[in-house]
Amino acid sequence: MKIIKDKNTLHKEILKNNGISFIPTMGGLHKGHVSLIKHSKKSKLKILVSIFINPKQFNKKSDFMSYPRNTKKDIKLLKKLKINYLYMPSFKDIYGFKPKNKIFLDNASKKLCGKFRKGHFEGVLNVVNRFIEIIKPKYIYLGKKDYQQLYLIKKHIEKKKIKSKIIECKTIRENNGVACSSRNLNLDKNQMKIASNIFFYLSNLKKKIKKNYNLLNINKIKKELINLGADKIDYLENYNIKSFKKVKKSNEKFNIFFAYYIKNTRLIDNI
């Protein structure tokens, strides 16, 4: 595994390759990232993982500062997984040039996380757009846990006719049902139990809603999450996973999207 810290060195390294499989991360690697890397090995292309905690997608400085960091552990894991390249750019390396493509922000960016985290998706798409221009990957592997983010990146790529292809990968969960996330490192044992209870409550509820759509009572469900131990709920909504619009008919394929806090830790998921 080669560790590269600037884009000029990266270009020299990857120019000779016939396409790259790219997994963008902010470090704090977990089973979800491992799954993306293993999935990318099927492409038979060289694998590039990036670690860059992008300050532009945090709307609170405290959230950026408290984001889990463990570079030594991450490097050890990536070596074990035998990836080809680890790209760890500086802020200047990513933001010190003007990209050819302007970002396209679909209207779906105003919903859910976009409502509660002003500027978040602009920050995400800005950095992804820049990574694409630097790396020009053939494939980008993204998990469905951050489904809204995945949807918006796909729309940007389609609109700008970018050749990179998004490979959607299933959400990987801990044994207790909680979606793998770097932020889980900020939870203690009791808080993880709360997150697990919330997951199983919503998972069982969705099965019932599929049979009887009238059971979808958002306000009642929010109250139940507070009773289970959530300190604050940003949103709980049902959306059609293809159109990213609110579900109006019981026969539509939908997921329940939710974001909530346990103390200061914000968790998002969709079921």
Which of these is catalytic: 33, 39, 120, 156? Answer: 33
Is 156 designated active site? Answer: no
Query: What's the pLDDT at 250?
Result: 74
Structural domains for the chain? 2-169 (3.40.50.620), 182-270 (3.30.1300.10)
- Summarised one tens digit per residue, pLDDT across range 49-65 is 999 999 999 988 888 98
Query: What's the pLDDT at 244?
Result: 93
Residue 183: pLDDT band with limits 50, 70, 90: very high
**What's the CA gap between 237 and 68, in Å, rounded?**
28
Averaged pLDDT, 109-132? 97
Stated pTM of the model: 0.95
Give the CA distances from residue 149 to residues 156, 172, 200, 231, in Å, rounded to whole numbers and listed in that order: 11, 16, 24, 24
Query: What's the pLDDT at 115?
Result: 96
Q: What average pLDDT does the chain have?
A: 96
Residue 251: pLDDT band with limits 50, 70, 90: confident
Lowest mean pLDDT among 97-111, 218-232, 240-254: 240-254
Query: What's the pLDDT at 16?
Result: 83
- Summarised one tens digit per residue, pLDDT across range 77-105 is 999 999 999 999 999 999 999 999 999 99
Q: What is the dihedral of CA 4, 6, 12, 15, to 10 degrees?
A: 90
Query: What's the pLDDT at 249?
Result: 78
Q: Looking at the DSSP assignment, which residues form a beta bridge with residue 217?
A: none
Query: What's the pLDDT at 6?
Result: 96
- Summarised one tens digit per residue, pLDDT across range 132-159 is 999 999 999 999 999 999 999 999 999 9
Comparing C-alpha atoms, which of 126, 180, 168, 121 is closest to residue 143?
168
- Summarised one tens digit per residue, pLDDT across range 1-36 is 999 999 999 999 998 888 999 999 999 999 999 999
